[in-house]
Amino acid sequence: MRVSFEERFDLPVSEVFSYFETPRDWTRLYGLAGSVKDLGDGWFAVPLKWLPFPLVAKNTLVEPDRLVRWTFRGFWRGKGEVAFSETDGGVQLRGFEELSVRWLWFLSPLVEKLLLERPFRSVWQIGWSRLRKSERAR
């Protein structure tokens, strides 16, 4: 499953970037359930409200205020990326997340389409909504 996005916010790039510095920071944006566990060597287990398997993720490239890339391991496999571009008075985000269930092989696309795609898109929308609230609060 691939979730792509392009969003613009009237917020400083550094403020928006701060939500992606490490997978630990994702919970500030998305409000995922439970506590993030530091697994060492840059890996974090990020809980999801609606699934028993956390996202085990590690940032593989961080260019402050410009780009973040990450990868998944464990139950999930995949990668993601967010590119940040400063605009007049704000920031433009472009990115994607590719995610599949590691042990389902050829069945994974069907499970993703039927059960996972909508919830993962909703998680991203929660984050965008929180950033929109931050815009309005300024």
pLDDT at 114: 78
Residue 79 tokens read as 């990668």
- CA dist., res. 57 & res. 68, Å (int): 12
CATH number of the domain at 2-137, please? Answer: 3.30.530.20
The CA–CA distances, whole Å, from 41 to 27, 53, 59, 72, 108 equal: 19, 20, 10, 13, 28
- CA dist., res. 123 & res. 62, Å (int): 22
Residue 109 tokens read as 């696309």
Residue 111 near residue 104, CB atoms below 8 Å = yes
pLDDT at 40: 97
pLDDT at 50: 72
pLDDT at 111: 72
- CA dist., res. 69 & res. 58, Å (int): 9
Total residue length of the chain: 138
> What does the domain layout of the chain look like in residue ranges?
2-137
The CA–CA distances, whole Å, from 19 to 41, 44, 52 equal: 19, 14, 23
Spell out the per-residue pLDDT of the chain, length 138, in tens: 899 999 999 999 999 999 999 999 998 888 776 789 999 999 999 988 777 789 999 999 999 999 999 999 998 899 999 999 999 989 999 999 998 887 777 777 777 777 778 888 888 998 999 999 999 998
pLDDT at 133: 94
pLDDT at 60: 98
Instruction: List the beta strands (DSSP E) in the chain.
Output: 2-9, 37-40, 43-48, 51-63, 67-73, 76-87, 90-101
